[in-house]
């Protein structure tokens, strides 16, 4: 197997489960040294064990991406352990509370923005500073969603943050293109993760949501991880400022609107 990230140091936020964990293991299999971050210590350590089982070097750094000090410390600890930073996947995110705007609690809205949007902005800020200092380029992928490319009644806060991630991605790509740093985003539809189970686990909701995916199933974390790997490798070297959709055909048809209006996560 080709080692697409051989000799690279990669940082993954939200790496304690799901897409982040799958990406960490895949990066390790492709030769990267992987730093994983998240709020849950036990799960983070489990991800690092999986990285090591894939014959990779790993480090877990516990932290909250909505806090500037935590994100700055994350990059600092990456440098202390591995000496540099080449690749980043800003994956940490939450679904928040899905209700109509008129019923949205301000605290719920603020928390969703703090993690999904401010967290990506903070990660970009400190990752880019280090990559610019190294003067050797780099690659960053931000986690957006199909909700970043369409409206979703009942999930306005979530959709707004994912639209914002794409705006951050394009701006960061333009600001850093001449420095050889590429910044892209990935936009999944429903993926088989704990978040997907929380939102679409009820039988009637699950059946309806499956029907919105022309391929007739939800995506798998590895399928998203493969797209992230490609964007972070030299195989994606002419791509920056873009958002790759991994959605089983979800966006190919009419805008489905809200999956479950008024549903609380």
Catalytic residues, by residue number, are: 144, 158, 162
Sign of CA dihedral 69, 184, 221, 36: negative
Transcribe 70-139 into DSSP letters: HHHHHHHHHHHHHS---EEEE----------GGG--HHHHHHHHIIIIIHHHHHHHHHHHHHHHHTS-EE
Neighbouring-strand partners of residue 33: 9
User: What is the per-residue burial (b if ≥16 Cβ within 10 Å, else e) of 43-66?
Assistant: bbebbbebbeebebebbbbbbbbb
Under 8 Å between Cβ of 191 and 250: no
Pairing of the two strands 9-13 and 87-90? parallel
**SS3 of residue 152 by DSSP:** coil
Distance, in Å, from the CA atom of 26 to the CA atom of 21, rounded to the nearest integer, reads 9
């Amino acid at each position: 197997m080709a080692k697409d990230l051989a000799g690279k140091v990669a940082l993954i936020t939200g790496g304690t489960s799901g897409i982040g964990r799958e990406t960490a293991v895949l990066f390790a299999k492709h030769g990267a040294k992987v730093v994983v971050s998240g709020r849950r210590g036990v799960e983070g350590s489990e991800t690092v064990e999986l990285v090591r089982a894939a014959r990779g070097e790993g480090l877990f750094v516990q932290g909250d991406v909505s806090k500037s000090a935590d994100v700055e410390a994350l990059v600092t600890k990456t440098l202390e352990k591995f000496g540099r930073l080449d690749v980043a996947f800003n994956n940490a995110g939450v679904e928040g509370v899905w209700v109509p705007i008129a019923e949205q609690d301000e605290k719920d809205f603020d928390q969703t923005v703090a993690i999904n949007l401010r967290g990506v902005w903070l990660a970009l800020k400190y990752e880019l500073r280090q990559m610019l200092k190294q003067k050797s380029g780099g690659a960053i992928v931000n986690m957006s969603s199909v909700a970043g490319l369409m409206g979703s009644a009942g999930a306005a806060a979530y959709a707004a943050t994912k639209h914002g991630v794409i705006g951050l991605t394009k701006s960061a790509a333009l600001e850093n293109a001449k420095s050889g740093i590429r910044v892209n985003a990935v936009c999944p539809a429903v993926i088989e993760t704990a978040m997907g189970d929380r939102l679409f686990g009820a039988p009637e909701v699950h059946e309806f949501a499956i029907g919105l995916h022309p391929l007739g199933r939800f995506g798998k974390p590895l399928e998203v991880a493969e797209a992230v790997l490609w964007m972070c490798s030299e195989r994606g070297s002419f791509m920056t400022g873009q958002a790759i959709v991994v959605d089983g055909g979800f966006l190919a048809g009419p805008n489905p609107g809200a999956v479950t209006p008024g549903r609380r996560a």
